[in-house]
Structure 1
Amino acid sequence: MKAVSVTTIKKELQDKTDSELIALVLRLSKFKKENKELLTYLLFESHDEDAYIQLVKAHISQAFSEINTTSYFYIKKSVRKILRLIKKYARYSLKKETEIELLLHFCSCLMKLKPSIKNNTTLTNIYNSQITRIKKIAGNLHADLQHDYNLALNELIG
């Protein structure tokens, strides 16, 4: 079965009643965990973005505390997994400020990690690519926000 375009789906949804829409959304939420997570964000957390950011930051910090630091192999695997989670949570929000906040926190936690990431090329490259990504995203924001994020970034870089 081939999926139809978003435009076609939108037209079809406009013809549905409220109860039919509720039934469709509930059925959709049963299929994938990400669908349910997105609905949770949209219904319960999107009204307070700051609380959402703090919740995700706590989740990131928890994930960093659980990293197996016996070898750089396990560290790299865990760091990539955390980065995937950050991208997913940022995609739910669709706000660039949220993505920057989460990436800044990620970089901060990554720098505090023991053993140091400076001893591993891959981890250093991951860190540098996230710094570049933050700069790129911040470049598209309002000048005041750019200034604030650039200060935070300079503080992180040292």
Structure 2
Amino acid sequence: MKAATLAQLKKELQHLDREELLQFCLRLGRFKLENKELITYLLFYADDEDGYMETVKQQLDNQFAEINTTSYFYIKKSVRKIVKGLKKNIRYSGKKETEAELLLYFCKKLLTMKPSIKRNKVLTNTYERQLALAQKKISGLHEDLQYDLNLLLEDLKSF
């Protein structure tokens, strides 16, 4: 079966009544965890972006606390997993300011991690890639937000 385009889906969904739409959403939530997470974001966090960012930051704190720091192999593996989850959470929001702020927070957590990432090239590259991505997102924001986030960015660049 070939998937329909978004335009086709939108056209068909406009013809459904409220009860049928509710059933579709519930059915979508049963199939994949990402669908359920997106519905959760849309229902509970879309109006409170600051609360969503705090929730994601708390998740990052917990994930960084659980990293096995006995070897750089385990650290790299865990950091890749954290980045993957962070990208997923950023995708739910779709707002550039949220993305920039969460990327900067991730970089700050990565920089303060023990043992230092400076001793491992892969972790340093991951840090620099996420910092460059944050800088790119900051450049597209309003001037006031750019100024505030650029201050954080400059602090992180001077590690």
Shared fold per TM-score greater than 0.5: yes
1:20 to 2:20 alignment:
yes
Identity %: 56
> Displacement of 1:47 after TM fit?
1.1
1:8 counterpart residue number? 8
Q: State how 1:38-117 maps to structure 2 within 5 Å.
A: 38-117=38-117
1:135 to 2:135 alignment:
yes
Q: Distance in 1 between matches of 2:100 and 2:61?
A: 16
> Displacement of 1:65 after TM fit?
0.6
> Displacement of 1:73 after TM fit?
0.6
Q: Distance in 2 between matches of 1:114 and 1:24?
A: 46
Runs (4+) of structure 1 exceeding 6 A deviation are none
> Displacement of 1:19 after TM fit?
0.6
1:58-96 CA-partner distances (Å, limit 9, x unpaired): 100110010001111100010010001110001000111
Q: Distance in 2 between matches of 1:147 and 1:66?
A: 33
TM value normalised by structure 1? 0.98
Q: Distance in 2 between matches of 1:5 and 1:48?
A: 30
Q: What are structure 1's unaligned runs of at least 5 residues?
A: none
RMSD over aligned Cα, in angstroms? 0.8
Q: Distance in 2 between matches of 1:102 and 1:72?
A: 24
Which letter does structure 2 place at the counterpart of 1:36? Answer: K
TM value normalised by structure 2? 0.97
> Displacement of 1:157 after TM fit?
2.5
> Displacement of 1:54 after TM fit?
0.6
How many residue pairs end up in the alignment? 158
> Displacement of 1:144 after TM fit?
1.3
1:85-112 CA-partner distances (Å, limit 9, x unpaired): 1100010001111111111111011011
Q: Distance in 2 between matches of 1:58 and 1:19?
A: 35
SS of 1:135's partner is helix
Q: Distance in 1 between matches of 2:44 and 2:78?
A: 28
Q: Distance in 2 between matches of 1:145 and 1:115?
A: 32
